Every structure is written in structure tokens, then in C-alpha cells.
Amino acid sequence: MSWPKIKEQAREKLRGICRLCPNCDGRSCAGEVTGIGGVGTGSSFINNYEALRKIHLNLDALHSVTDPSLKTRLFGHSLAFPILGAAVAGCKINFQGRMNEDEFCLAQVQGAHEAGTVALTGDAGHAEVFAAGIKAAKAVGGASIPIIKPREVADIVARIREAEEAGAIAVGIDIDAAGLVNMRLLGQPVGPLSLAELKSVCRSTELPVIIKGVMTPKAALLAYEAGARAVVVSNHGGRALDHTPGTATVLPEIAQAVRGRLAVMADGGVRSGVDVLKFLSLGADVVLVGRPLVWAVFGGGVEGVKTLYTKLAEELKTAMILTGCPNPSQAGKHLLAIS
């Protein structure tokens, strides 16, 4: 099934939830959290999109890079391309229950696995959300990364045990969900984690721990000090705090602060393979795609997800040929035009 057809079908199924705008920039859905939009004025989501849009690439076709390799490694695992699925979850609260959480999550994880990469999975106040990620991980032999809300340490560790049993390749905590009111309403408080708490979480497992929701070099360095193996430069797709900068704006200084010590992942507003190359050039090792996955699953299930990854990878490869980038690790500032 073609990508336009998948989007057409998703538009039908997501009527009243997501408009599938030609430019998915956070303007039409501002304030729609719960839902698919950005929190408050929508400025954090909009800034993600705008910050990426303002980055320009140097077109250069005088070189010998005719067949770039997209392969990359994360925590010793081989990925077909440097693109992973961001955790997008919560069918009941965000998608009016139009799809069952297990089905929604499995399509993301299996689609990613069959395409040669891995998906992150989510957590929420409804127990079925985290459970769906664990079931999906088991279904693909563990090739996924459960992300746990910043709960009390004992509750985080209990969920890490579940991820370990499922054979997950890593686990993460979306620290930027520390202010989620609906978690508290559901009797599952979340909040900021101290360095000592983060250290005890990292010490509790052999799995690599990813800290998702890092927007400053200070937070990235604390994640390193705590024993984490990666950070995701992310503002939760603009869903956590209104008026934060776009992730492409803060990525270079964060990447510079922890380069060689932590894997740097980034998300926010990625809609094409060209966007992926921009993030790689700004210092990310791998890039996550979020909202387009929702369209892929609603519009085409596992096949829809595979089609999305194929499209992004093809666009990335073309962009690498047209900038002379032989592989993801060779992307850097030299690919970027100063504007």
C-alpha cells in the first residue's frame, strides 16, 4: 500500500482526532493534549517543526558517495537505518479508544522489527499501556525498548524487571512526563527524579538505560553521572511544557557535552528522511519518529509502519547521496548550510 493511501485511510479513522495536515507542524492541533497535539499554545510542538525547517543542507554532488550505507549500531544491536519508533501510546486517552492498545502497540513494534529497526513503547496511567509494550516485546523476541514514566523508584524498577523478562534491548524513563496531572488523577504519581534516585534506577539493571526528555547539557551530564547509556533530546513532541525551544535548537550543545560518553537520540517534528539527516548532522546518533507512526498504524497496521520506515530510509539515502555523506556517523556540521 502506498504512503498517500495509508494517510487517506488514517484520515478517515482519525477523524476528529488528527487532521493529517499537509504540514504536520502543531498549529491546527494546538492545545489538543489529550489527543495528538502540543500542550497549551502548542508552541513547543510548533518550535520543533520550525527549528528543523530552518536548518538547511549543503547540496553537493561532486564526490564518490554513490551508495551510502544507512546501517548503524545501538547498544551493540545492528539497525538497518538510524531511525527508531518514538513511544506513542495511550489509545484510550489520546485516540478515543478507536484502536485496542495491544493491537496499536504491536503494529509499531512488529513493523519496526520487520523493517530492521526497533520501536520504543510507552507507559501511562492505564496499566494496559505499559503491558501492551511488554507483550509486543515478547512477540518479537525482545526487539523493543519500553519507556517507563518517572514514577517512584520501586515502581520503575518493577517495570524494568518486566522489560528484562521480555528480553528488551534497553529501557528508558521519559523524565519530561514529571508533570503529568492525569497520572496523579489515576493514583500513579510521577515527578522529577533526583540524581540519587536516577543512580539507583541505573544500578538496578544490566540493561542500558535511556533518559528521554533531555533539553539541556546539564540534564545530559547528570544522566551520564547517574549511569545512563543514552539520552533522547526531546520535549515529548511538545506535550510536556509550553514554550520550550525546538529540539533541533538545543541538540548541538547537548551532543557536544556528552559526545563519546552517551548515545544521543533526538526527536520532535521528524517528517522525512531529510529531517533525519538534519538531526544526524546536528549531533544525533539516531533519530526517532513520532506522530507519523500513528498515521501508519491507523492507516495500514504493520504494513503501514513498514511503508513509513521504507519511505524515510529512501529519503535519507537520497539526501546522503546529495550531500556526500557515506554513512550516518559521517554526518556533521559540514553538511549544514549557514543561513
Ligand X SMILES: Cc1cc2nc3c(=O)[nH]c(=O)nc-3n(C[C@H](O)[C@H](O)[C@H](O)COP(=O)(O)O)c2cc1C
Q: Tell me which residues are annotated as active site.
A: 236
Whole-number Å distance between alpha carbons of 183 and 151: 9
Task: State the nearest-atom distance from the C-beta of 35 to ligand X, in Å.
Answer: 7
Binding ligand X (rule: CB under 6 A), the pick from 99, 136, 289, 296 is 289
89 near 123, Cβ under 8 Å?
yes
Tell me: does residue 268 bind ligand X (CB under 6 A).
yes
Q: How many beta carbons lie within 10 A of that of residue 70, not counting itself?
A: 20
291 binds ligand X (CB under 6 A): yes
Residue with cell 552517551: 262
Check residue 124 for interaction with ligand X (CB under 6 A): yes
Q: Which long-range CB contacts under 8 A does 16-21 form with residues at least 24 apart?
A: 16/96, 17/94, 17/95, 17/96, 17/98, 18/291, 18/294, 18/295, 20/295
- Contact with ligand X (CB under 6 A) among 270, 282, 296, 325: 270
Q: Mask 144-163, x = binds ligand X (CB under 6 A)?
A: ---x----------------
Q: Where are the beta strands (DSSP E) in 1-160?
A: 56-57, 72-74, 77-79, 83-85, 119-121, 144-148
Please say which residue, 122 or 299, places its beta carbon nearer to ligand X.
122
Which neighbouring-strand residues pair with 147? 172
Q: Which is nearer to ligand X, 75 or 326 (CB)?
A: 75
Beta strands in 243-310 (DSSP E): 263-267, 286-289
Q: Which of 25, 162, 267, 285 binds ligand X (CB under 6 A)?
A: 267
Interface mask toward ligand X for 57-96; x: CB under 6 A: -----------------------------xxxxx---x--
Binding site for ligand X (CB under 6 A): 36, 48, 86-90, 94, 122-124, 147, 174, 212, 234, 236-237, 239, 267-270, 289-291
